[in-house]
Amino acid sequence: MPRSNATAGIGGADTRPPLAIGIALSRLLPKTSEAGLKTAHFSKPGLAAALLAPQLLILLFFFFIPSYKALSLAFVQVDPFGAREIFVGFANFAQLLGSPDYRQSVFFTLWFTVIQAVVTIALALLFAFATDFVIRGRGLYKSVILMPYAIAPVISGVLWAFLFNPAVGPLAQFIQSLGIPWDPNRRPFDAQLLVIVASVWKHICYDYIFLVAALLAVPQSLLEAAKLDGARPVRRFFTISLPLVTPTIFFLMVMNVVYGLFETFGIIDAVTRGGPAGATNTLVYKVYQDGFVQLNLGSSAAQSVILMIIAILFTVLQFRALERRVNYQV
């Protein structure tokens, strides 16, 4: 009680002690700062279960059962037709971790995912911020940014591959005419750059939609107050808008990482096929190549288990590291 007395004393409002205690506690214990969002719950558990059921069923069929299958395959070597199977323990994992090619793939996947996620968010933020300043043709501006989302990854991948093909691609020839060597077939870095650019281009629109909506939700009163105080647009953006849209950015970070890890498959398949010399072979693409093209199911299953572990770690890490800085209350 001495604590509450003290706060009450400071607040000087004897008529509202419970609220004062609440505020004091929330300041002292950071965890309860999100109390408003996280403590909401259903009073009838049956309804909650019914509402959750469809999602849980989807998870069961598309996550838990496949995960179980992958786990069971990861420890065997198996003939593709399923006729022969030998238990090999951790041999599939040992072989992967001992292989320089696999380590190269892990390394590339990690930096590809991080760079892709950061660049996508940065550009989407820039475009979203600029939306307010586009007066004429704002509809057109938005449609141009949103358009890539409507194009199938394989189609856009083929277009990128063609445009930057050193033999026939107009953009490749433009780059070469500037005296810059460009050949994604023979220069690994060019291929990696191309894959990153294509993935970012494909995903900007997704981030853009969320960020435009988030920026619209920033209270006008705050922005106007800052304006009256003489803050210029960029300053207003960094000191008011940006902190207020951090929850969205955090969410998009997670989504971008998931996108980079898993959904860039179509683009890589069309743009580089993992080459040259495995330079753009991401973990997911390797799972596909080894499992579905080369029919090496044991190794492919082991890879997908490792991938799953990486994805879980990444997400946990992000929640831990980033969520603390996220302000959920407006």
Write out the residues near other proteins by the rule CB under 8 A: 77-84, 86, 95, 101, 154, 158-162, 165-169, 184-188, 270-273, 275-279, 289, 292-296
Task: For other proteins, give the closer residue by CB, 193 or 258.
Answer: 193
Token readout for 4 is: 């509450």
What is the nearest approach in angstroms of other proteins to the Cβ of residue 176?
Answer: 12
What is the nearest approach in angstroms of other proteins to the Cβ of residue 294?
Answer: 4
Task: For other proteins, give the closer residue by CB, 111 or 238.
Answer: 111
- Quote the distance between the C-alpha of residue 100 and its chain's center: 27
Separation of alpha carbons 253 and 326, rounded Å: 12
In DSSP notation, 99-128 reads -HHHHHHHHHHHHHHHHHHHHHHHHHHHHH
Strands (E), the chain: 76-78, 85-87
Separation of alpha carbons 153 and 257, rounded Å: 17
What is the nearest approach in angstroms of other proteins to the Cβ of residue 157?
Answer: 8
What sign for the dihedral angle of Cα 311, 317, 322, 327? positive
Task: For other proteins, give the closer residue by CB, 85 or 323.
Answer: 85
What is the nearest approach in angstroms of other proteins to the Cβ of residue 291?
Answer: 8
Task: For other proteins, give the closer residue by CB, 154 or 326.
Answer: 154
Task: For other proteins, give the closer residue by CB, 127 or 160.
Answer: 160
What is the nearest approach in angstroms of other proteins to the Cβ of residue 158?
Answer: 5
Closest by CA position to 120, among listed 11, 217, 14, 258: 258
